[in-house]
Structure 1
């Protein structure tokens, strides 16, 4: 699996590139993880509702084709897009979500942070505050979209929405939980390697 760091990117551009990659790949195409940092943007999942937007601002709102609800992406947040052929790996979508969540939990363990899951609310939490979100799109057993992990960012835009559809849901980030000064790229690359290790261990 290739790890590709694309740096700061416009959301719509990356979304289009993910769709093209998925639509044109064949059985021999290598799976890829794209590390990205986005300019400020709200993205709506296919089950999100308009009332989850609590106030208007100059931050664009984009309706996407991924699962899940509304979330925010911005500078200081590591986004890892997972372009993976589940059929080839013989991994189901539920297992893939479990792999992503466990990878994030294991990453946080390396910073001596205990994380947990919430029933019915995908993502990863620390003391009931969300630190990572995920949303995937499955097309002919191939997935795209992925996860976002809050590293060192302005969290205030989350106040403009019901994050992931939950009213009053608190959010947190790595820099507020540890004195560690790892860069966004360092954190994203560590998480990518943990994720690849999980996928390798769970493939059939």
Structure 2
């Protein structure tokens, strides 16, 4: 796992034979706009073939993001009211509607050449969901999928949200897993535009308090094994 400490993105030009397949980059706590800039730069490099596919692991200071589907972008307060609470509001180009991030939530951003891996969109989303299931299982929480609603659920409450953008055959954005974050931030939005949805977290569901680094290690250890369950090409990881 690479630990990102704000070095220039060009420093990540590692020869392919010296870089693990689908390398994880730990970004620790990073402001959302900074992580978005990093995603864009990595996306350019991965889509052009200058870098192999990577996965970013990050926590964010409080932020609300608005997706491409305007009908699903629903705030319960004005943007100014939210901003006055110290919560950033950012419009981005991913699928899905409004969601929120804050410390204690693990966000997984795959910058992946989906064509090279042989992925269609639905299996790729299921791959990310399975990674999140394994993270939650480490805390003792068993999450599940629901038909027609991407993400993960526990007893009817939403614990992980998915939103992707795929351009130039390469993905951005990803899945956010609620672990120990303050769920109060979701009171300011209609999560994913789903009326009546109740958000939850591993902590709220009585999960074990596993150190965040150990949960990132789950992604690092399972990222390759799960590829083949969702139809990835064998040669893509070499």
TM-score, normalised by the number of residues in structure 2:
0.79
1:147 equivalent among 167, 175, 186: 175
User: For residues 77 and 107 of structure 1, do their structure 2 counterparts lie closer, same or farther at Cα, with a shift above 3 Å needed?
Assistant: closer
In 2: Cα distance, 1:74 partner to 1:64 partner? 17
In 1: Cα distance, 2:130 partner to 2:163 partner? 15
Q: Secondary structure at the match of 1:30?
A: coil
1:69 equivalent among 97, 108, 126: 97
TM-score, normalised by the number of residues in structure 1:
0.92
CA contact (8 A) 1:131 1:150 kept: yes
User: For residues 24 and 109 of structure 1, do their structure 2 counterparts lie closer, same or farther at Cα, with a shift above 3 Å needed?
Assistant: closer
CA contact (8 A) 1:80 1:192 kept: no
Worse-superposed segment, 188-197 or 142-151? 188-197
Could you say which residue in structure 1 is the equivalent of 2:112?
A: 84
Shift of 1:28: 5.9
CA contact (8 A) 1:81 1:144 kept: yes
CA contact (8 A) 1:77 1:184 kept: no
CA contact (8 A) 1:9 1:39 kept: yes
Alignment gaps of 5+ in structure 1: none
Could you say which residue in structure 1 is the equivalent of 2:70?
A: 48
CA contact (8 A) 1:78 1:185 kept: no
Could you say which residue in structure 2 is the equivalent of 1:23?
A: 44
Shift of 1:51: 6.2
User: For residues 51 and 89 of structure 1, do their structure 2 counterparts lie closer, same or farther at Cα, with a shift above 3 Å needed?
Assistant: closer
Alignment gaps of 5+ in structure 2: 1-21, 234-238
RMSD: 1.8
In 1: Cα distance, 2:178 partner to 2:142 partner? 15
Shift of 1:138: 0.4
Query: Number of paired residues?
Result: 204
CA contact (8 A) 2:27 2:57 kept: yes
